[in-house]
Structure 1
Amino acid sequence: MSHSQNDPRVPTETPTVSGADAGRIARAAFVGTALEWYDYFLFGTAAALVFNRLFFTELDETAALLAAFATFGVGFFARPIGAMVFGYIGDRVGRRPALIATIVMIGVATGLIGLLPDFGNIGLLAPVLLAILRLVQGLAVGGEWGGAVTIAVEHAPVEKRGRYAALVQIGSPVGTLLSSGAFAVVLLLPADAFDSWGWRLPFLFAFPLLLIALYIRMKVEESPIFRNLVNEEETVKVPSLDVFRTAWRRLIVAVLGALLGVGGFYMITTFVVSYGANTLGVDRQIMVNATLIAAVAQIFVTVIAGRMSERFGPGRMTMWGGILTAVAAFPLFLLIDTRSPLVITVAITLGIVLITIAYAVSGALLSDLFPPKLRYSGVALGYNIAGAISGALPFVATAMLTVSNDASWGAALILVIIAILTALGGFIGERLRVADKRIVVDDK
């Protein structure tokens, strides 16, 4: 049965893609993804700087921070569920409707966090509502990134997919710039003003950003490859079930390949901001500003790595990104431990640059691991299972500080482990890539 307005009796045509369309679609996917990561990173920064003090105030300092990071992690654990739900929509109904639904959910949930009363006003209900909104964020993100990558890749010529998939990835550093920049501005307020209303402004800013992203995304056409699947009646009933049943090896490789880009990023940003401000006693403004500088560098590295993946393959780029990060992990944390603002900024920037080598090509690698009929679900599940694992990393790294007497070696060890796993995923993934067939390129 058809799941599109297209009449299945119409003779099947070979999907046609063009460079002009690919650029426009990828930019639309990028705008939505930038909002997605703005919202998501905003929560991570607030978990490190605000929520531990305003929403978990009956706990001691360490317990409150752990509770804040646990709430941060709730969104990650919801992401595989969102991947299955929106993967079903994306692989059965269409990539486009799934992407519109996810962007609305995450924008509204983030804006509502800015309106949420704190513990002092409504008691225990405050952290409960915070966790619920975080859950909604997680469900939406579970479908957003996989859909954005899928629709960008499926509109692009095969030999140019690396650059267009990387364009979606630029949403991450742009989201970081927007969220960290917003917090850098409100942190200039007096402490009392920041705690009472200043921290809410970046969350409320999600509402106008949502309107802009939704306007742009509504203009996106459906993927030509998906339309072809519908015309040939090749869609599957429960795509995520088919991924687990027939493509589980590829799913494991996808999880490994995505692990460093997600988990490593949160180790170098969310955990390090908390570690620097709360353990080392470094001014939190310095920590936030360091992530801003790193995000600018990440944009350039993403563009370069995306182009390089078209020549060397996204799997090889992922492998080398993992190896280089593993080698640099302990030195990076030793630099952070110096407490020097300049050295910390260099360390965070270098850490993000190395992680980005793998992260920039995640979309190209994961989309090449799954055939079109399972692509949305496979990409979303791989990325978001990695995300679910990653969500616990700041919590685990913070807990390890109590074991290591506030030494950073535990966090560095975690970064080494996930970097090696991602290098392995890249090595295997390069050998499992599948090519879409029967695509006509029209660059007229």
Structure 2
Amino acid sequence: MSDDSNDSTISGADAGKIARAALVGTALEWYDYYLFGLAAAIVFNRLFFTDLDPTAGLLAAFATFGVGFAARPLGAIIFGYIGDRYGRRPALLATIVMIGIATGLIGLLPEFGTIGLTAPILLTVLRLVQGLAVGGEWSGAVTMAIEHAPMKTRGRYAALVQVSSPIATLMSSGAFALVLLLPSEAFDAWGWRVPFLLAFPLLVIALWIRIKIEESPIYKDLLAHKGTTRTPVRGVFRHAPGRLVVATMAALLGVGGFYMVTIFFISYGTNTLDINRDVMVNATLVAALFQIVVTLLAGRLSERLGPGKVMVWGALFVGVVAFPFFWLIDTADPLMIVIAACLGIVTVTVAYAVTGALLTEMFPPQLRYSGVALSYNIAGAISGFLPLLATAILAANHNQAWGPALILVSIALIGAIGGIFGERLRVTDRHIVGS
């Protein structure tokens, strides 16, 4: 199939409809996933790991948070196989059901004081289910958006799916901001559970929307002309190992950087600097509004410059603001904290906005779901433990912020290298499907 035939069979209106449907489902997925990160920073360390001292409890909570990321590559293998072998659509339906149910059940879990060690064990199991589902969700959503879009406008529709991240941040942080208005006793007793329980009705809405999505036209064309690959994951490792490494490097900044400037940002402010948690959560809400605008602008810019080049610029921005980001937080001034959140999230967003467009165009259609899922979630598995690493470094160097700042600089450098080589490795469906 050529680029021209693709453009003639796919309209911008249809592409927008599919991308918006993908956005809604993915926003629910990220809402569910981000909730755990917020709760790990301000709830789970106290209610599920109560036999540990405060620092150890926080480390244990972040380790449980990281477990979900460790499960994501396995989810990528499972749903990458389904997505490349049997279709993008069934994989996306399965992932959204899994994470919606797992998140809702977290809201029903008894605490350590009620069932003892069983509480953190069950919490870890549900986090694993979340990780498995997310391992196949984002890659499928962005693949569907890209494969339904005309070649020349793929950047904007891939970025539209990325808008699910700030929307999910607004939803999850907003939900927690509201329940944090409750008295501390009520918040600990039942208030923190409400955002998790909301996953049940949100799942029904998102599933209803996602059921209406049609299968990817490029996948249909692949079935008609070449057939699917029996073992797509093996195909990625055998035929595209270099692409996998570069794509993982490119994805690391958007994923790891985001968790450093959101989840660790909140933890550092509340647990290390003893800043009111409302201030930290509300700062991420303000930054998320700017994130939406920057995501859409970066997506459009990628259509002119190429997603790899935009990612390099995003990496440079992150490297420049890494130390000022923490200096602003250290002031403990609410206005400076809001500025810090906006600086951190906006700069990371430049790279994150184009991650979908870059990764999907680095893999051929017959390996695309698996290639994108593996690279993104290997990066995610590494990223999930960055808050844990940053917390450990803080504990080792007497709460000096230079350690976490260096982590940000390091992943910015890795992301820049991924963007440079990723831009050179981009391919079109014309070059692959007919080969």
Q: Is the 8 A contact 1:39 1:203 kept in 2?
A: yes
For 2:222, the equivalent position in structure 1 comes to: 229
Query: What is the CA distance between 1:356 and its match in structure 2?
Result: 0.5
For 1:6-25, what aligned pairs fall within 5 Å after superposition?
A: 16-25=9-18
Give me the whole-angstrom Cα distance separating, in 1, the residues matched to 2:225 and 2:48: 53
1:270 corresponds to 2:294: no
1:389 corresponds to 2:382: yes
1:305 corresponds to 2:298: yes
Give me the whole-angstrom Cα distance separating, in 2, the residues matched to 1:402 and 1:96: 45
Query: What is the CA distance between 1:361 and its match in structure 2?
Result: 0.4
Q: Which runs of 5+ in 1 are unaligned?
A: 1-12, 440-444
Task: Kindly report the root-mean-square deviation, in angstroms, between the aligned alpha carbons of the 2 structures.
Answer: 1.1
Give me the whole-angstrom Cα distance separating, in 1, the residues matched to 2:317 and 2:191: 39
1:180 corresponds to 2:153: no
Q: Alignment partner for residue 217 of structure 1, among 207, 210, 214?
A: 210
Deviations 1:163-199 (A, max 9, x none): 0000000000000000000000000000000001000
Q: Alignment partner for residue 426 of structure 1, among 399, 414, 419?
A: 419
Q: Alignment partner for residue 129 of structure 1, among 91, 98, 122?
A: 122
For 1:200, the equivalent position in structure 2 comes to: 193
Give me the whole-angstrom Cα distance separating, in 2, the residues matched to 1:312 and 1:207: 41
For 1:294, the equivalent position in structure 2 comes to: 287
SS at match of 1:117: coil
Query: What is the CA distance between 1:233 and its match in structure 2?
Result: 3.5
Q: Is the 8 A contact 1:150 1:376 kept in 2?
A: yes
Give me the whole-angstrom Cα distance separating, in 2, the residues matched to 1:425 and 1:245: 20
**Letter of the 1:135 counterpart:** L
Give the TM-score taking structure 1 as reference length.
Answer: 0.95
For 2:155, the equivalent position in structure 1 comes to: 162
SS at match of 1:369: coil
Query: What is the CA distance between 1:14 and its match in structure 2?
Result: 5.6
**Letter of the 1:188 counterpart:** L
Query: What is the CA distance between 1:429 and its match in structure 2?
Result: 0.6
For 1:366-405, what aligned pairs fall within 5 Å after superposition?
A: 366-405=359-398
Deviations 1:399-420 (A, max 9, x none): 0011110111110000000001
SS at match of 1:57: coil
Deviations 1:14-51 (A, max 9, x none): 65222111000000100011001100110000000000
Deviations 1:329-388 (A, max 9, x none): 011111111111100110111111000000000000000100100000001111100000
Give me the whole-angstrom Cα distance separating, in 2, the residues matched to 1:314 and 1:241: 27
**Letter of the 2:46 counterpart:** R
Runs of 4+ residues deviating >6 angstroms: none
For 1:45, the equivalent position in structure 2 comes to: 38
For 2:141, the equivalent position in structure 1 comes to: 148
Give me the whole-angstrom Cα distance separating, in 2, the residues matched to 1:426 and 1:185: 39
1:72 corresponds to 2:62: no
Q: Is the 8 A contact 1:14 1:438 kept in 2?
A: no
Query: What is the CA distance between 1:438 and its match in structure 2?
Result: 8.5
**Letter of the 1:378 counterpart:** G
SS at match of 1:258: helix
Give me the whole-angstrom Cα distance separating, in 2, the residues matched to 1:173 and 1:122: 35
1:413 corresponds to 2:406: yes
For 1:71-150, what aligned pairs fall within 5 Å after superposition?
A: 71-150=64-143
SS at match of 1:59: coil
Give me the whole-angstrom Cα distance separating, in 1, the residues matched to 2:351 and 2:262: 16
Q: Is the 8 A contact 1:166 1:303 kept in 2?
A: yes
Q: Which runs of 5+ in 2 are unaligned?
A: none
SS at match of 2:429: coil
